[in-house]
């Protein structure tokens, strides 16, 4: 009877300890299972603009050509072997100033632009500094026409002066300085060298019925170096591709051309003219780049 009593008291105690141990293990199971799930995911790596890139662009261009025409009056009235000044000469201003003013003025031009670009960026925190160069089509063309009536040289004779100018290609080499508004959105300012070829032509023709119409045309072209400044924004998306929108202002030097107008009957009447042409232009374009 004594043995039985001891056994009866000991068995419930062991059962109780086992139950508590089992319940404790069950209680810990959710913590063990949930542990990996509750760990914070790794932070995404911020986009970096640093590196080399290449791309293409396409857009519109508009601008204004300025032409300034002058008549050479610093010639004698008769130049051997048989050339007579037509509009003016030394001591006789004639209609030189009138024709020059008629051939002077500005005129608008518009066209398109498009080409390839390449560059390299350096990045420190949110500041991005880079160099970019591009080359492509730059199709601008425009013309103006001025008319008048000769007063002193050949009174009553109507005349017309026509100026035309155009460009065909553009090269720029620019610096860029920008700030990342968002890790993958860059806003920037840019500026540097701009080079293009400007072609010009000036035509004079009048209605002289005594000599038959006097006319002449001259022109030329030159590669001109200027400057450009602008602003832009660039957005990066998957696989290191970016898209950008950009505006550029361009200013170039002057192109000079000269020629001679002559009477149609070969009587020796002639006059030298010259024209200076310059250009300011604007570009708005979209582009796409691939960073490596």
| 136 and 185 housed in the same domain | yes
Peptide bond into 81 cis (omega under 30): yes
| 59 and 34 housed in the same domain | no
For residue 11, what are the domain limits? 1-39
Any domain includes 222: yes
| 145 and 23 housed in the same domain | no
Return d(Cα 284, Cα 244) in angstroms, integer.
11
Nearest to 166 by CA among 282, 277, 249: 277
Whole-structure pTM value: 0.81
Return d(Cα 292, Cα 288) in angstroms, integer.
14
What is the H or E stretch that residue 29 is in?
helix 2-38
Any domain includes 45: no
208's CB contacts (< 8 A; 6+ apart) are 154, 157, 214, 263
CA distances from 223 to 15, 130, 169, 284 (A): 102, 27, 10, 23
Between strands 83-85 and 158-182, the pairing is unpaired
Any domain includes 279: yes
| 12 and 118 housed in the same domain | no
| 130 and 225 housed in the same domain | yes
94's CB contacts (< 8 A; 6+ apart) are 73, 85, 87, 88, 152, 153
pLDDT in tens, the chain (292 residues): 444 444 444 444 454 445 444 445 444 444 444 444 455 666 666 789 999 999 999 999 999 999 999 999 987 666 655 578 999 998 889 999 999 999 999 999 999 999 999 999 999 999 999 999 999 999 999 999 999 999 999 999 999 999 999 999 999 999 999 999 999 999 999 999 999 999 999 999 999 998 889 999 999 999 999 999 999 999 999 889 999 999 999 999 899 999 999 998 888 899 999 999 999 999 999 999 999 9
| 6 and 88 housed in the same domain | no
| 179 and 60 housed in the same domain | yes
| 72 and 216 housed in the same domain | yes
Between strands 105-124 and 127-149, the pairing is antiparallel
| 67 and 111 housed in the same domain | yes
Kindly state the greatest CA–CA separation across the chain: 160
Cβ atoms of 264 and 236 closer than 8 Å: no
């Amino acid at each position: 009877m004594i043995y039985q009593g001891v056994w009866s008291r000991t068995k419930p105690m062991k059962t109780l300890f086992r139950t508590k141990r089992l319940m404790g293990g069950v209680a810990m199971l959710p913590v063990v299972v949930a542990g990996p799930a509750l760990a914070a995911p790794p932070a995404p790596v911020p986009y970096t603009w640093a590196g080399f890139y290449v791309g293409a662009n396409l857009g519109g261009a508009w601008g204004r050509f300025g032409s300034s025409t002058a008549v050479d009056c610093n010639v004698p009235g008769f130049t051997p072997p048989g050339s007579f000044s037509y509009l003016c000469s030394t001591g006789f201003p004639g209609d030189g100033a009138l024709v020059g003013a008629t051939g002077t003025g500005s005129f608008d031009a518009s066209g398109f632009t498009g080409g390839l670009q390449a560059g390299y960026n350096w990045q420190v925190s949110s500041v991005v500094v880079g160099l970019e160069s591009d080359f492509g089509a730059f199709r601008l063309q425009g013309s103006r026409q001025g008319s008048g009536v000769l007063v002193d040289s050949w009174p009553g004779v109507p005349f017309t002066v026509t100026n035309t100018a155009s460009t065909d290609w553009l090269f720029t080499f620019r610096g860029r300085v920008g700030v990342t508004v968002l890790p993958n959105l860059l806003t920037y300012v840019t500026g540097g060298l701009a080079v293009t070829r400007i072609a010009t032509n000036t035509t004079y023709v009048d209605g002289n019925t005594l000599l038959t119409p006097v006319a002449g045309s001259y022109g030329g072209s030159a590669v001109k170096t200027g400057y450009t400044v602008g602003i832009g924004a660039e957005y990066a998306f998957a696989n290191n591709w970016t898209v950008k929108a950009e505006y550029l202002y361009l200013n170039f030097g002057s192109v000079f051309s000269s020629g001679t107008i002559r009477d149609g009957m070969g009587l020796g009447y002639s006059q030298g003219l010259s024209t200076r042409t310059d250009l300011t232009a604007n570009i708005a374009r979209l582009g796409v780049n691939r960073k490596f």
